């Protein structure tokens, strides 16, 4: 019996390590203990809290097209967002996670569309029993501008929007960049996080 319990706990721990180590692209962010991408490495595949022992990053390698938050707190607090590699920096890392990058308007290869084009996205939603997905959320008939265009401002705007629609949380949202403006996009509202 004890043997089964030990095997069960080991399986759970292995499963949580695998789940914690995944992101959508499969490409990790890599923090280095020395500048210019040298020294010891901390490879981060997905959201990771309570990094023990804490890691002092002096350079970070970010895969192209990704954004990551490195945080000095154990539970994603005191975060700084990186959307490109940095050869010289100093930061104590106790948690880290990938963040949604901005969606750029217009077909691939074209420059970002202006605010007028971003406003033309359809105002649609798909509602289920415990969640609702909004392509281009609106308030008072207008797209929801997010200034400054940061991950934290996006999360707050999405949470406020979902509460205004009668939902409890927003587990997912993106920013759409149109010229110099950022708009809330692809917002998922839900009853709970599970």
pLDDT one digit per residue (tens) for the chain, 194 residues: 444 333 333 333 333 333 333 445 578 999 999 999 999 999 999 889 999 999 999 999 999 888 898 999 998 889 898 989 999 999 999 999 888 655 555 433 333 444 455 555 566 788 888 999 998 899 888 889 998 888 899 999 999 999 999 999 999 998 888 878 899 988 999 998 65
- Give the whole-angstrom CA distance, residue 4 versus residue 191: 36
- Do 130 and 61 form a contact (C-beta atoms < 8 A)? no
Domains of the chain: 25-99 (2.60.20.10), 103-190 (no CATH)
Residue the block writes with tokens 């590699």: 85
The pTM for the full model equals 0.49
Neighbours of 143 (CB within 10 A): 21
Backbone CA torsion sign across 58, 22, 173, 76? negative
Distance of alpha carbon 136 from alpha carbon 61, whole angstroms = 32
């Amino acid at each position: 019996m004890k043997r089964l319990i030990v095997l069960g706990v080991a399986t759970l721990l292995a499963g949580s390590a695998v789940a914690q180590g995944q992101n959508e692209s499969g490409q990790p962010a890599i923090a280095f203990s020395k500048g210019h991408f040298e020294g010891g490495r901390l490879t981060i595949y997905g959201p990771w809290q309570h990094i023990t022992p804490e890691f002092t990053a002096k350079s970070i390698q970010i895969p192209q097209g990704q954004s990551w938050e490195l945080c000095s707190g154990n539970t994603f607090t005191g975060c700084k967002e990186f959307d490109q590699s940095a050869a010289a920096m100093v930061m104590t890392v106790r948690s880290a996670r990938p963040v949604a990058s901005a969606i750029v308007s217009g077909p691939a290869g074209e420059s970002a569309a202006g605010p007028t084009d971003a406003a033309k996205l359809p105002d649609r939603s798909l509602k289920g029993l415990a969640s609702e997905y909004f392509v281009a959320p609106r308030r008072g008939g207008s797209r929801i501008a997010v200034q400054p265009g940061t991950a934290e401002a996006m999360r707050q705007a999405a949470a406020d929007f979902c509460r205004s629609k009668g939902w409890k949380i927003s587990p997912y949202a993106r920013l759409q960049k149109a010229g110099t403006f950022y708009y809330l996009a692809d917002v998922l509202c839900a009853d709970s996080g599970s």
